[in-house]
Structure 1
């Protein structure tokens, strides 16, 4: 079966730009009607109901562990070896820890221990704990 060839470019009409139908013009996208645009609205708060700003935390933050750490060190005479800090804190905090606190952190230790280490670092930066003594958590002399 012989194909029809274009007289202008000598190509089969199926490959030739002259033998193809003109493409349909592309219409620009229309913006949604103004009535369909959603705006963020706030629902009125009922007086007396608590305001919840976000989902509940899955694990304890380092800031929440600062006070228990300081109290533990004060009761222990101002210093405690790191080997004793974690078991004692675990015993004291017990059920106050959140469900996610016992999951492993990216470093492999339980999340609450990582939070306690971060709390220690923050307390050192604030001058509450003495920095630089590896393996010993010690209150600063100012306390």
Structure 2
């Protein structure tokens, strides 16, 4: 039994890429005999909500206290005194992580109080015209 060889690669035509028949076009490919069944719709997932347990007091909680401390002091205080008065008012109400230190070495409650002050400045309730002084607008 003699086999024909390819003129380009000297392989038997059954093994070379040149002797293989051309692939059939996609449109001429056999279509499935049955139509696909529609997929079942999955029931929507209900996300269980857990109560948020915060380890430290967020700035939103401290913002009214910052305003109250400044009002009681006549409208302005140096930052250290303002933080001291906030600490006095929060005594016994601190969250479990409020006294943990931030990477910069500041207690978390003080960091939150400073962020609360920044938000109040942005809202126009406090001014930052004098460095180191918290002042009502």
TM-score band, normalised by shorter chain: 0.5 to 0.7
Aligned twin of 1:139: 136
Q: Spell out, residue by residue over 1:50-72, the C-alpha distance to the aligned partner (whole angstroms, 9 max, x if none).
A: xx643311100000000010000
Q: Which has the larger radius of gyration?
A: 2
Gaps of 5+ in 2: 1-41
Q: 1:119 aligns with which of 112, 116, 121?
A: 116
Take 1:82 and 1:97, find their aligned partners in 2: how far apart are those partners? 20
Aligned residues: CA RMSD: 2.2
- Look up the match of 1:86: 83
Structure 1, unpaired ranges of 5+: 1-36, 44-51
TM-score normalized with structure 1 length: 0.61
Q: Distance in 2 between matches of 1:79 and 1:86?
A: 12
TM-score by length of 2: 0.63
